[in-house]
Amino acid sequence: MSGNIKIKRAGKVVNGTIQLTGSKSECNRALVIEALSQGKVKVQNVSDAADAVKLASILRGNAEQEPNAALLSATTNSPFVAPSASTPEINIGPAGTAMRFLTAYFTLQDGEIVLTGTERMKQRPIGILVDALRQLGAHINYVEKDGYPPLQIKGGFEQLTDTISIKGDISSQYITALLLIAARLPKGLNLQIEGDLTSRPYVEMTLSMLHQAGIKHTWEENIISIESQGFKETSIWVEPDWSAASYWYSVAALADEAELFLPGLTPYSLQGDSVITELMANFGITSQFKDGGVHLKKEPKPVIRKIFDLKACPDLAQTIIVVCAALGHEATFTGLETLKIKETDRIKALQNELGKMGVKLIEKGLVYKLDCSKRFIPEKITVATYEDHRMAMAFAPLALLIPEVEIEDAQVVEKSYPAFWSDFEKAGFTVSA
């Protein structure tokens, strides 16, 4: 759906079966592995999330093309370049994961490209990853602003070193981008992670999927090592998206009664966001794995937990914070360091939108606390989404409490969960323009 949509819900009892799309996080990694394996690895259950569809079209299209030596040009030492008219431009739109993964991927490909995206993408930092790739010997230049896309990438380079360091508390996607290409580097890679590692489960997901493709690694203390090696022939099946599942846990938490079935999800997921089962247990949601999926059920239970550390699962932050605000539960949150450099500044976005129901999200250093002392339930709320899919989906369940919830730019959900609004209708919500 394009434009704004209005959501209403008659009654607070929710039942049904929701078939989720493949995990965007798993799918994006698998697609890069497939491309790097040069056909040895096949990906099954490709996500229909817009980001994954876009990445698949770029990688699979690129893999089918013969390298064009005519596109190679001399590398410049200038920090900014004006690409020639013959240099292909690849626009990944708002797909942050694709921007990071493709930055590393295209350093190994023949030819020269300019990698760009939306205006918001041009505001999202990528300097740490570019610096790391340059240390390895890659040829990357900034087209506009130092430290940000667009990037001019000349593929193919002589590896200068096999050991580099990278900060662990900025974005795990920088680390994943480097790990994905490590086995294709002539000297392999020893990646030293400086400081605390944000979103560790996402790094573990990457290494596990590489292992499925035959790539071995060691991880000792803060150093991950991958030798130069080949991929094996295999197929990688992408599990349904636990991040998408989190919104149904939110629905269950805000309902009076709820029984939902999400097929295909397993208790042994590679996805860090599967921790939503533990987090939502605090709100009375039980998760029973049977019949080839997970059954959610709402059980009456007071919310006692006061501190939520979301460092390992920052994509769940909006979901958990909105649920706490809706229930008037004054919790404290940590591990939100990366939220300001996501699709939008998610901290500021949450503060703005929660303020519309009288709730404050107060920032004190690295700790955030909800103040629900002036919380109220309005007759209607209009939620701005800030070009952020998770803002739309995290606030939509408020329709169980607020008579009318209007979501601006509702189509933003296409980034990770295109069927979200139709699934909402299946679950008994009224969704209209």
315 is catalytic: yes
Evaluate the omega torsion of the peptide bond into residue 150 and state whether it is cis, within 30 degrees of 0.
Answer: yes
Q: How is residue 325 written in tokens? A: 């605000």
Q: Name residue 369's beta-bridge partners.
A: 332, 362
> Running DSSP on this structure, what letter comes out for residue 61?
H
User: Which of 75, 74, 41, 80 is closest to 60 using CA atoms?
Assistant: 41
Report CA torsion sign: 93, 198, 27, 239.
Answer: negative
By three-state DSSP, how is residue 350 classified?
A: helix
- Pick the catalytic residue from 273, 315, 388, 409: 315
Using a 10 angstrom Cβ sphere, with 0-12 exposed, 13-18 middle and 19 or more buried, the burial of residue 298 is buried
Dist CA 341 CA 132 (whole Å):
19
Extended strands (E) in 163-251: 163-167, 189-194, 218-220, 223-226, 234-237
Q: How is residue 246 written in tokens? A: 């989190």
**Residue holding tokens 């939509």?**
396
Query: 360: number of CA atoms within 13 Å, CB side?
Result: 6
Task: Look up residue 397 and give its amino acid.
Answer: P
**Other C-beta atoms within 10 Å of 266: how many?**
15
Q: How is residue 52 written in tokens? A: 């994954």
Extended strands (E) in 155-292: 163-167, 189-194, 218-220, 223-226, 234-237, 257-263, 285-290
Pairing of strands 404-407, 380-383: parallel
Dist CA 199 CA 40 (whole Å):
29
Name every residue whose Cβ is closer than 8 Å to that of residue 240 and which is 6 or more positions away in sequence: 19, 20, 21, 22, 23, 262, 263, 264, 265
The residues that are catalytic are 315
